[in-house]
Structure formats: structure tokens, C-alpha cells
Structure 1
Amino acid sequence: MTKHPHIRFIINPTSGPKSRVDVAARIKLHLDHDKYGHDIVYTDYAGHATELAKQAAEGGCAVVVAVGGDGTVNEVARGLLRTETALGIIPRGSGNGLARHLQVPLSVDGAIRFINQGHRSKIDSGNINGHPFFTTAGIGFDAYISSVFAGSKRRGLKTYVELILKEVRNYRHLPIKATINGKTIDTDMFVMAFANAAQYGNNAYIAPMANIRDGLLDVCLVRQLDMLKALNLSYSMLAKKPAGADSAEYFKAEKVEVITDHHIMYHADGEFIGKASEFIVGMLPQSLHVVAPCV
């Protein structure tokens, strides 16, 4: 008898909307059991998903599915980097950036049926100061918002937007020295985003032209931001098109180095990491197998 490929589902029990779906029951109902064996495990603490994913990959698991938000997806993907085990996603967060980019259905049942189709391809991953990311990383204002959001008791897109509107007027640009494609730029910076995928999540496209399989970072630099530029940038992100040159600048690069006079905040996939005064951001091309067609 041929052994079925095995799928491990890693569920973050704290992710998901208040009207909770019994994901384990939906997996048992909709997974194609004629094609796949499976097990379901739950995370108990930060970083646990990475450990569980590594364990599954070392055991020869064909697919590990992250059931949760962008933070859970990042943790699981970190455990699968440069292995033959593919990342699957059942999106249960507020942003779901990588799931949206890979065109994974946002419903639990739809995501399981997507896994049943058996599509498989490879994508790039990014790295900022040793921290892998799969959608975006950034320094400046977006990292600051990530830190405030992490401390908020309320989640969801509405809370995120409210925080941005509250904080944008008080946040000040910072001087940096950035080396991009061998060219050094001395400038003030409001935010510098490093994109592997096109969007932060919630269909907010910080780098609409980003290709998750081209081995390059798409860098969005906003030097200074007033209210008019903020409105232009916000509209462009929602309209899935680059902002005007007076609001943002875009670069493609294999590696970016940034030096600042002061320690500033940074994030990876929306998760606040900490502060640093030097940043090295690079790519690991074709480093992660995913359950998604190559489109």
C-alpha cells in the first residue's frame, strides 16, 4: 500500500475572529483523506510554531500548514526554510499578507480545498538583521506602528488604521544613510519598506510591482510625509499602484544597508522586532516551497 503524503496543521489558538470556527473539525471534514494523511498540533508560546515546523520537516512531512495570522505564518515558514517541506496557509489573521499574495482563499473551507489541489512552487524569502520575512520588513513609521499595535488589546484592520491616523502627525522623520545597489543616499526618512511580496496585508500594496520569485527586494522609501503626501500614498496603496515621485521612491535591489545615528525600530512581517542603528537586508532566492501555483 502506498503511503499518503503527510500534512501537519499547526494551529495558533489565539488567532482568528471572535466568531471562531472549529478549524480542526473543518480540516477533518474537507481534507482529501484519499490523498493525504495528517496531524493537528497547537502552539503554546511564541516561537513554538517554528519548532513544530522544523520537527515536521525533519520527519519527512510533505506540507506544514500555518493556521493563524501573519505572525504564525512567519514562524512556520522560518522552520521550513531551505527544506523540501512546503508551507500551506489557512489564513486566520487580520492582514493575511502572504496568503493574499499567493491567492489562497481567505475562508477556512476554501483554503483546505486549495491545499487539496496539490499545487506547489517556490518563493524567495527576505532577511533583516538575521530575521527572516516573507512579505515585508521595514524601518521607521511602519515599525513604530507595529510596536504600538503589538501592545494593543484590540486587533483587526480598524484598530490598525486608527493607530496610524493617531500617530502619523506626531511621528518625525529620521536621518539615515542607505546603500542601495552600490549607491549611497544620505536623507531624512519617514519609512523605508523592504518588500518581497507586494502588500503588507489587507490589500494595502506598499510595492505593487514586487515579484515574490525574482530574487530582488522592492524598496519603498518615503523621505518626509505631510498630510497631502500621506493621502496620496494611502490612495496608491489601496489602488494597487505606485505613489507619485513626490510621495515615495522605489528601488529594486539584492541587498540594502542602512546606518542611522540613533537606534530605530524595525519589523518583519508586521511583527515588531526591536531597535538597531545598522541594518542589513537581503534575499534568499527560491528558499521556500509553498502550496500555491507559480503565477
Structure 2
Amino acid sequence: MSKRPHIRFIINPTSGPKSKVDMAAQIQLHLDHGKFSHDVVYTQRAGHAPELASEAASSGCAIVVAVGGDGTVNEVARGLLHTDTALAILPRGSGNGLARHLLVPIMPQGALRVLNKGHVTTIDSGSINGHPFFTTAGIGFDAYISSVFAGNKKRGLQSYVELVMKEVRNYRHLPVKASINGAVIDTDCFVMAFANAAQYGNNAYIAPEADIQDGLLDVCLVRRLDIIKALNLSYSMLTNQLAHADSAEYFKTTHVQVETEEPMMFHADGEYMGKTSAFDVHIQPLSLKVVTPQISIA
């Protein structure tokens, strides 16, 4: 009998809602043990998951499962880039952006059913100043919110929306110079989002036409924001539609360079990365294997 493919589950013990679910017990109950062998490990600090994932890939592990939120998924995926080991997700975060784009069920039993079927495909990833991202990266207001939200004790969509509503009026537009598809754009910038996947998370779609397998970044530029534009942009994000041209502009490209007059905040997959005055953003085509349902994920 041939050896069963091995799965490593990497659990972030701090992820998830207050009503904790015993994820190790869910794995034991719903994983197809006749098809897979497995082990379960726990992260002990920020930056631990890439080490655990890379170690698993080097040892020939077939699948590594990120059990946590978007930050955990990003860390595990970073450890698997350009390897033959596939990423799977058991969503335990507040946004679950990549899981939602890949149509992975949010509930553990449903996500484990997808895992048991073992359908593997390959997706693109992005890089902003050397930091890999798999859903979105950005500069401007969304990065500012990421920096504030990181220190927020309350999590979840309601807390995020409350924070956005509180901070949006006080945020300053900043001038940027962006090089996209051979053109140089000098503009004020409220937010510039670089999307590999269509949404931030929580089904908030910043780039409805983004295809995670097309070898392109979808760039969404919001130059200035007033109340009318904010309402239009919010409606489009919640209904998975392109915003009106007066509210946002969209570009498809493989590479973006941005220079700013003063340091701007940036994020990768919702994790605040810091401030700088120069950004280099590019796509890495078909660089990560993932486990998905056997349906279109474009």
C-alpha cells in the first residue's frame, strides 16, 4: 500500500472568536484519516508560521493548513511560495479574505470537507517592497486603518467599520507619483490598493474584476474622497461592483512603482508593514499551490 500524503495543520491559538472551537478536535473528527496522515503544531510567536510551513514543505509534506485569520494565512503561504506543497485554509479570523475568494467554507466542517477532496490548483501572489501578499496590499487610508486596528482590542467587522467611520474624516490625502503601464500619474491619493484577489475580507470587494490566476494586479486608485464618493465606493464594495469612475479608477498591470513626498503607511494582507517613501509592487504568477473546491475561483 502506498504511503498516505501527509498534512500539517498550523494553528494560531490566538485567532478566532471569543467562543473558541477546539480545532484539533474538529480535525480529528472530520479529516479523512484513511486518505491522509497528519500532525498538528501551534505557533508560538509572530513569524513562527513561515518557519513551520517551510519545514513541512522541505520534508515533503503534501499540504499545510493555516488555521487562523488573514495574518496566519499570509505567514503560512509565505513559507510555501514556489514549492510543491499546497496551502489549505481553516478560516478562524475576522476577515478571511483569501478563504472567501477561494470559496473555502468558513465553518470548520465544511472547510475540512474541501480538504478531504484534495483538489489542488495554483494561484498568483503579489509582493510589495519584498513583502508577499495573497489578497491585497495598499498604501494610504487602508494601511492607516490597518495600523490602528492592529492595536484594537475589539475585532470583527463591526469594530472595523466603526473605526473607519471614526477616522475617515481626519485622514489627509497625500501626493504620490505612480508609474503604471508606462504612464506616470501625479495625483493626490486617499488610497491605492493593489489586488491579487477581489476583496479585503468580509466580502468587501475592492477590485471586483480581480482574477487570482491571470498574472495581473488590479490597482484601485481613489484620489480624493468626499461624502458622495464615499457612499458610492462603499456601495460598490458591498455589492461586488466597480465603483463609478468619479469615485475610483482601476488599472490592470504586472508592476507598479510609487514615490511619495513624505513617508506613507502600507499594508500586506491587512497587516501593517510600516512607512516609506518608495514602493515597488509586482505580481508573481502562479507561485502558490492551494486547495480549493472544484469550482471556478477567478
C-alpha separation in 2, matches of 1:189 and 1:263 = 13
Which SS does the other structure have where 1:262 is aligned? strand
In structure 1, list runs of 5 or more residues that go unmatched.
Answer: none
Tell me if structure 2 keeps the 8 A contact 1:5–1:61. Answer: yes
Question: 2:173 maps to what in 1?
Answer: 173
Identity of aligned residues (%): 73
Alpha-carbon separation, structure 1, partners of 2:192 and 2:93:
24
2:281 maps to 1:270? no
Aligned to 1:208: 208
Alignment of 1:133-148 (within 5 A): 133-148=133-148
Q: Which residue of 2 aligns with 1:67?
A: 67
Q: What's 1:42 paired with?
A: 42
C-alpha distance in 1 between matches for 2:228 and 2:41: 48
Correspondence for 1:107: 107
Separation in structure 2 between the aligned mates of residue 13 and residue 20 of structure 1, nearest angstrom: 10
Contact 1:191 1:222 in 2 (8 A): yes
Amino acid of the residue matched to residue 170 of structure 1?
N
CA RMSD of aligned residues (A): 0.6
CA contact (8 A) 1:49 1:76 kept: yes
1:211 is paired with a residue whose SS is: coil
SS of aligned partner of 2:169:
coil
State the one-letter code of the partner of 1:130.
G
Pair 1:123 & 2:130 matched: no
Query: Whole-Å Cα distance in 2 between the matches of residues 206 and 263 of structure 1?
Result: 23
Report the count of equivalent residues.
295
Residue matched to 2:30? 30
Aligned twin of 2:197:
197
Q: Contact 1:121–1:294 at 8 Å: present in 2 too?
A: no
* TM-score calculated relative to the size of structure 2: 0.98
Paired residue for 1:285?
285
CA contact (8 A) 1:120 1:294 kept: no
Give, as a single letter, the amino acid of the residue that structure 1 aligns with 2:96: N
Tell me how far 1:104 sits from its aligned partner.
Answer: 0.2
Distance in 2, Cα, partners of 1:283 & 1:193: 13
Distance 1:245 1:252 in 2: 15
Structure 1 residue 228 displacement after superposition: 1.2
Q: Which runs of 4+ in 1 moved over 4 A?
A: none
Shift of 1:294: 6.1
Query: What letter is aligned with 1:226?
Result: D
3-state DSSP of counterpart to 2:29: helix
Correspondences of 1:211-290 after superposition (within 5 Å): 211-290=211-290
- Taking the aligned partners of 2:208 and 2:124, their CA distance within structure 1 comes to 16
Contact 1:198 1:207 in 2 (8 A): yes
Q: Normalization by structure 1: what TM-score?
A: 0.99
| CA deviation after TM superposition for structure 1 residue 190, in Å | 0.3
Match of residue 81 from structure 2: 81
1-side partners of 2:276 and 2:197: how far apart?
24
